[in-house]
């Protein structure tokens, strides 16, 4: 029998050579087959119109998720600004359902290039999330943004389940195209209806990893979701409570909703619908997604409305029947989405991004799809899935901008309380730069909840520095600063 010293030495040597081989796989492109390198080269984006100069690489294009139907999902990928071979890969998903992660996440929230008002130039985002990770944006499902299908019937069969399965197939095929990133830690993040997308995709990866070959194993470590739709009952209850508590609705409207609506029951009554009409009407004049910032009052060169058509079947079931639930989000510049919509419909921009290459997509690029009419498999609660993934050992953070009325902090607190997790560290302030309170945290057994002061629905848009700080601590699995610094 080997001595303890020799056994320890052997384990050390094995660990050294294993780590060395992983590092080599991450950095040595000479080990990648030529046909895959050719695919990567075809997706390489040298520069998009109006882009400031950068040193990191970017790629964009299509990944086929169903050969028979001709379904392809569009992605945009940015390598980390420094040492990408040592950084994790982070996938960002916007919600809707049916809204573009390119239009919102990449161009208006956390990508390296953001829209500017009144100019065809882009500005560099000094708080871009590719400072902390290799950053991947995906337009899903098909019918969203530049993603498409050659089988029109596919658009009538969309839902949570199809979205999760197609997104998983995309990831498997994307990592085959970029094998240098396959061994990296992988995380998923998103906001709003991504409260469905992110846990559901994580669950598919988690379950599939038990049976897939080593080639298709995805090194999922955790996910982080913001202002996320989690549970129909508590989300809708929390919206009403938040609106009353923030002086958005009157006592009379609040009392009518509380008296006539039971959000755990479907369908809602006539009296409840009447009360909810009164509740939603106030959001015609203020921004539901950010209570204290202005609305876009002057729509110059406007190519889209702030209202989406109603998609049948999405969650939450009672609220989704109302027109105002389908209002589009904005940001600090409440008209910025108008400019990005013009930008992504430019032929030179699409050519640079390898988007709409066949020119056969029968609709213009929009922030949120007008091609989706029906939605299937939208569960009333994501809490069982989250509980399963907590038990599976994934790192899970939930964050909430505290000026969002769409999926407010009140709703998220109700939802997380419903999980019934033990509290390890109760309501505590966390600090951002210049000794300022950035928000509050609750550390549960298996989940971290973070509030973000002064942020609306799209946290990285409103408080970009705080959002990047949040991401860095999540990826490092470190608590946010509990004392001023």
Q: Which pair of structure tokens corresponds to residue 184?
A: 């990296």
Q: What gap in Å lies between CA 140 and CA 163, rounded to an integer?
A: 7
Q: Which pair of structure tokens corresponds to residue 360?
A: 């056969």
At which residue do the structure tokens 């070959």 appear?
213
Q: Is 404 a residue of the active site?
A: yes
Whole-Å CA distances, 485 to 139, 439, 474:
39, 15, 19
Task: Please state the three-class secondary structure of 284-318 as a single string.
Answer: HCCCCCCCCCCCCCCCCCCCCCCECCCCECCCCCC
Q: Is 457 a residue of the active site?
A: yes
Determine which one of 402, 404, 415, 473 is catalytic.
404
Determine which one of 192, 290, 340, 369 is catalytic.
192
Q: What gap in Å lies between CA 123 and CA 126, rounded to an integer?
A: 9
- β-pairing, 89-93 with 134-139? parallel
Q: Which pair of structure tokens corresponds to residue 420?
A: 């019934």
Q: Are the CB atoms for 470 and 480 separated by under 8 Å? A: yes
Please state, as a whole number, how many other Cβ atoms lie within 10 Å of the Cβ of residue 305: 10
Dihedral angle computed from the Cα positions of residues 218, 220, 224 and 230, in that order, rounded to the nearest 10 degrees: 80
Among the listed residues 80, 84, 75, 83, the one whose alpha carbon sits nearest the alpha carbon of residue 174 = 75
Q: Which pair of structure tokens corresponds to residue 68?
A: 């028979």
Q: Is 248 left (phi over 0), alpha (psi -120 to 50) or beta?
A: alpha
Q: Is 426 a residue of the active site?
A: no
Q: What gap in Å lies between CA 389 and CA 206, rounded to an integer?
A: 8
Q: Are the CB atoms for 396 and 389 separated by under 8 Å? A: yes
Q: What gap in Å lies between CA 92 and CA 135, rounded to an integer?
A: 7
Residue 85 DSSP class: G
Q: What gap in Å lies between CA 273 and CA 244, rounded to an integer?
A: 18
Report residue 367 CA to chain centroid gap: 14
- β-pairing, 447-452 with 113-114? unpaired
Q: Are the CB atoms for 162 and 61 separated by under 8 Å? A: no
- Quote the Cα angle for 42-47-52, to 5°: 155
Q: 444: buried, middle or exposed (CB in 10 Å: 19+, 13-18, 0-12)?
A: buried
Catalytic residues, which ones?
A: 192, 404, 457
């Amino acid at each position: 029998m080997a001595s303890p010293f020799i056994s320890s030495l052997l384990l050390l040597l094995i660990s050294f050579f294993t780590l060395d081989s992983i590092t080599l796989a991450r950095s040595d492109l000479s080990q990648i087959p030529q046909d895959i390198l050719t695919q990567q080269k075809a997706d390489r984006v040298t520069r998009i119109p109006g882009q400031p100069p950068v040193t990191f690489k970017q790629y964009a294009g299509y990944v086929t998720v169903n050969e028979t139907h001709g379904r392809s999902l569009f992605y945009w990928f940015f390598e980390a600004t420094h040492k990408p071979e040592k950084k994790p890969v982070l996938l960002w998903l916007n919600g809707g359902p049916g809204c573009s992660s390119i239009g919102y996440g990449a161009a208006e929230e956390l990508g390296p290039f953001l829209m500017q008002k009144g100019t065809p130039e882009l500005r560099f985002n000094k708080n871009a999330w590719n400072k902390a990770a290799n950053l991947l944006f995906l337009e899903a499902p098909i019918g969203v943004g530049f993603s498409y299908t050659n089988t029109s019937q596919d658009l009538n069969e969309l839902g949570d389940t199809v979205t999760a399965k197609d997104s998983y197939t995309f990831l498997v095929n994307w990592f085959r195209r970029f094998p240098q990133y396959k061994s990296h830690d992988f995380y998923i993040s998103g906001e709003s209806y991504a409260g469905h997308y992110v846990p559901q995709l994580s669950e598919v990866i988690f379950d599939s990893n038990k049976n897939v070959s080593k080639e298709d194993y995805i090194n999922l470590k955790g996910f982080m979701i913001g202002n996320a739709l989690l549970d129909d009952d508590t989300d809708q209850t929390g919206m009403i409570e938040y609106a009353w508590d923030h002086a958005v609705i009157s006592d009379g409207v609040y009392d009518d909703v509380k008296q006539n609506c039971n959000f755990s029951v479907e369908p809602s009554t006539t009296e409840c619908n009447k009360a909810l009409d009164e509740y939603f009407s106030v959001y015609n004049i203020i921004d539901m997604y950010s209570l204290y910032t202005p609305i876009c009052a002057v729509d110059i060169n406007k190519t889209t409305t702030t209202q989406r058509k109603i998609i049948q079947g999405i969650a939450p079931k009672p609220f989704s029947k109302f027109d105002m639930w389908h209002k589009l989000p904005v940001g600090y510049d409440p008209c910025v989405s108008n400019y990005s919509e013009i930008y992504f419909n430019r032929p030179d921009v699409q050519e640079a991004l390898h988007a709409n290459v066949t020119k056969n997509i029968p609709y213009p690029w929009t922030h949120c799809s007008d091609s989706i009419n029906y939605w299937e498999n939208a569960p009333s609660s994501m809490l069982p899935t989250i509980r399963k993934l907590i038990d599976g050992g994934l790192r899970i953070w939930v964050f909430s901008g505290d000026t969002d009325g769409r999926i407010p902090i009140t709703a998220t607190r109700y939802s997380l309380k419903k999980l019934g997790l033990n509290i390890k560290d109760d309501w505590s302030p966390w600090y951002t730069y210049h000794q300022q309170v950035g928000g509050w945290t609750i550390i549960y057994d298996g989940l971290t909840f973070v509030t973000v002061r002064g942020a609306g629905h799209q946290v990285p848009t409103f408080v970009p520095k705080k959002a990047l700080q949040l991401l860095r601590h999540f990826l490092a699995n470190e608590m946010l600063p509990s004392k001023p610094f």
